[in-house]
Amino acid sequence: MMRKRNLSLCLIFILILALFAGCGGGAGTNSQEPAAAAGSEAAGDAAAEPGTPATTGGSMTLYYSHSAEWSDALIKEFQDKTGIQVDMVGAGTGELVSRMIAEKANPQGDVLWGGVVDTYEPIPELLEPYVSAEAGALDPTCVSSGNTYYGWDIEPMVIMYNTKLVSEEDAPKGWLDLLDPKFKGQIACVDPTTSSSSFGALMGAIMALGKDDGKGYEYVGKLVENLDGKIGTSSSTNIKLVADGEYAVGITYEEGALRYIAAGADMQVVYPEEGTNPSPSGIAVIKGCPNPENAKLFVDFILSKEAQSQLGAIHRRTARTDIPSAEGMVPLDEIAQVDYDLQWVAEHKEEFNQLWRDLVTQ
């Protein structure tokens, strides 16, 4: 009997302990609420720090045509700062624009980043107007009239040559030198109907040699003849072909050539004596995109002083007026420049593309 009574007392004691333990657990849960609030406040303070994009999370899809070698680092930095997952779709700028046209009724991308602004000017219906907080710090040539796109860097188009195949004395000094018979079949040139950099370079040549009197178009015809049927499909591949000695000379964008030279390639660049166009490279929010707020944050980040200050290290020229020119690069005011008429380019793009197609199929 005594044993049963002791057992009952033990059971009652255990139940009392369990009850207090349960209350203690409830108190612990409630006591965590102030800690969570404090954590949220701290996160809010971090997000409000000047120059730091707000942490929003979520995702966005980036259509880009840049080399992953340098652009992926900037993309990762943006992801780390914001918590936004960036899904990347890489292709040539012309291909990406064609994709945007096909998806117009149901856009899949959020930001177009890559290619010169010549490609952006004719497609305002595909781009979402957005007044970036960074717009006031940009060079005026990098802000479109309707804020449908921005230039995020300034990049002259250049002629490159392999120093093992071409001496400095024999190297082309300008656009007209590419018509020399000694370079026939030895010129690396990408199809300008698919490559925005090639398109921008040839438009610059047309303006340097005469856009209104027909001499610019005549030049393109003679250049195609000197290409001897050899037309590239990728701007980055074309630079490598010149660096490897597959071609003697070529037409390209400054950053790509300088990157190879810095890596030790037997190559040099020439800024055409007739004039070149220091074309801004573009970035824009895609109209009707699925994640417009995240897209705007990405544009702001690429245009920010923090990101732009890193461009010199990757052989690019900043679009901002409050950052000095990169050390070691030829100053823009020492490069012969054409009076580049972006509106004329937009109005004549299809005409030029048809001319090119006719020339290469003759």
Domains with residue ranges and CATH for the chain: 59-154+279-331 (3.40.190.10), 155-278+337-360 (3.40.190.10)
311: its two tokens? 């461009």
Q: Are 92 and 64 in contact (CB under 8 A)?
A: no
pLDDT of 55: 55
Helices (H), the chain: 2-47, 68-82, 93-102, 196-209, 215-227, 235-243, 254-262, 292-303, 305-308, 342-360
Dist CA 239 CA 43 (whole Å): 46
**Sign of torsion, CA 131 298 301 143?**
negative
Instruction: Note the pLDDT of residue 335.
Output: 95
Measured distance CA(179)–CA(227) in Å, rounded = 9
Q: What is the pLDDT of residue 101?
A: 97
pLDDT tens track for 309-354: 999 999 999 999 999 888 889 999 899 999 899 889 989 999 999 9
One pLDDT digit (tens) per residue for the chain, 362 residues: 434 444 343 333 333 334 334 433 333 333 333 333 333 333 333 333 444 455 568 999 999 998 888 899 999 999 999 999 999 999 988 899 999 999 999 999 999 999 889 889 999 999 999 999 999 999 999 999 999 999 999 999 999 999 999 999 999 999 999 999 999 999 999 999 988 889 999 999 999 999 999 999 999 999 999 999 999 988 889 999 999 999 999 999 999 999 999 999 999 999 999 999 988 999 999 999 999 999 999 999 999 999 999 999 999 999 999 998 888 899 998 999 998 998 899 899 999 999 999 999 98
pLDDT at 120: 94
CB-facing half-sphere around the CA of 213: CA atoms within 13 A? 4
Q: What is the pTM of this model?
A: 0.75
pLDDT of residue 54: 54
- Give pLDDT, residue 194: 87
Residue type, 249: V
Token pair of 189, please?
A: 């040139």
Which of helix, strand or coil describes residue 99? Answer: helix
